[in-house]
Structure 1
Amino acid sequence: MGLFDQILGAVANPNQQGSLGQLGSIISTVDQLSNSTGADASTIQSLLSVVGGQVRSALQEKQATEGNEAVQSVVNEFAGTSPNSAAVNSIFSPALQQQVAEFAAQRTGLDAGMIQQLLPQIVPVVLNFLQSGANTQGSQAGGNSVLSSFLDSDNDGDVDISDAIQMASRYMGR
């Protein structure tokens, strides 16, 4: 099952945290990023996809060294739609932040400095998507299907935040 299917399942399941309101606020934040940077929506979605891939790698490493609970804890603490540099610092070291920005700049054509400034806005949005699968009774009760799907390490190409945002926009008629 793809990431977006997991997100829709979380929205439909009253035992998971996902909601249409949550998806709407994520989409609005992406729109605001597009408006504030002057970049078109597809460029911002590409940026989210690239940064999301880097977040995935960092969370997979955290999962391998510290376990699932540590990853869920980061997601629970830093998911949101407001800028949060602590979210970025919890996932990427300062040197890695610069590398992520440079890599994303190569992929999107946006300025690396601007991307580095946008990371505190982008990372919480990615984590917010991942939080949608968490159980409403607490993070340990039943796991997080969206996070598990996102961290799926079989590299089947099924994990892409940009695709999930596009599908959520279409699903919500925006």
Structure 2
Amino acid sequence: MGLFFDVLSAVNNPNQQASIEGLSSMTNAVQQFAGKNGLDASATQSLISAVGGSLRPVLQQQATAAGGTSQLAGMMGQFAGANPLGGMMGQVSGGNFDMSALQSMIPAEMQQQLINNISQKTGMNASMIQSLLPSVLPIVMNFFNMGAPTPGNRGGNPLLSAFLDSDRDGDTDLGDVMKFAGRFLNAPQQ
């Protein structure tokens, strides 16, 4: 639940791109993805958890290769688009995202390793994972982009940094974050 608190912190920080509307768009994108692919809530949470768990070491390696988290955040921002919920988020439902867009951030051999790891964690076959990734990865990248500074502000991406922090192993489950976000958004407002 630690990463979810980082999301709430980003929502409450006017210098970061996160917002309640953005979080709502993110959970709606996950629901649309699940519906389009015939996945129930449990399978969707398992898939997103596996994607996050498998993506984390890849992104840690890329952060090291890129010279730090801020350089990786810049690459991810380009991948996700300037608007944290625009661009690629609209493509989630259409499924027209091209995996080749990932080549600059995640080389092909790392993509295959990512697919194999997710397949092992979820029990889904690798070809199914490969077909789902073009829809799942934009959601995940846009999620991380919520921690990016707003235009005109400088600073790092504490949401991405928290996810990559190796000391928080049990607190970085993206499936749990999406589950808590859904509960948070559906809670009665007082």
Normalising by structure 1, we get a TM-score of: 0.88
Deviation at 1:77, TM superposition (A): 1.1
Worse overlay, 80-89 or 107-116:
80-89
Q: Assess if the C-alpha contact under 8 Å between 2:52 and 2:174 holds in 1.
A: yes
The equivalent position to 1:153 in structure 2, one of 166, 171, 188, is 166
The DSSP-based 3-state class of the residue aligned with 1:172 is helix
Equivalent in the alignment of 1:71: 72
Equivalent in the alignment of 1:115: 129
Aligned length: 173
* Aligned equivalents of 1:148, 1:102: Cα separation in 2: 25
* Aligned equivalents of 2:136, 2:78: Cα separation in 1: 15
Equivalent in the alignment of 1:42: 42
Structure 1: runs of 5+ lacking an equivalent: none
* Aligned equivalents of 1:87, 1:164: Cα separation in 2: 26
Superposed CA RMSD in Å reads 2.0
Normalising by structure 2, we get a TM-score of: 0.82
Paired residues for 1:50-61 under 5 Å: 50-61=50-61
Matched, 1:101 2:115: yes
* Aligned equivalents of 2:116, 2:174: Cα separation in 1: 19
Q: Assess if the C-alpha contact under 8 Å between 2:54 and 2:118 holds in 1.
A: no
Q: Assess if the C-alpha contact under 8 Å between 1:16 and 1:135 holds in 2.
A: yes
* Aligned equivalents of 1:29, 1:142: Cα separation in 2: 27
Equivalent in the alignment of 1:19: 19
Alpha-carbon spacing, 1:99–1:62, altered in 2? closer, same or farther (3 Å) = closer
After superposition, the C-alpha distances for 1:40-91 in whole angstroms (9 at most, x for unaligned) are 1211111111111222111111111222232111221122423532453334
After superposition, the C-alpha distances for 1:90-131 in whole angstroms (9 at most, x for unaligned) are 343323323322322222232321210111111111111111
* Aligned equivalents of 1:126, 1:94: Cα separation in 2: 18
Equivalent in the alignment of 1:32: 32
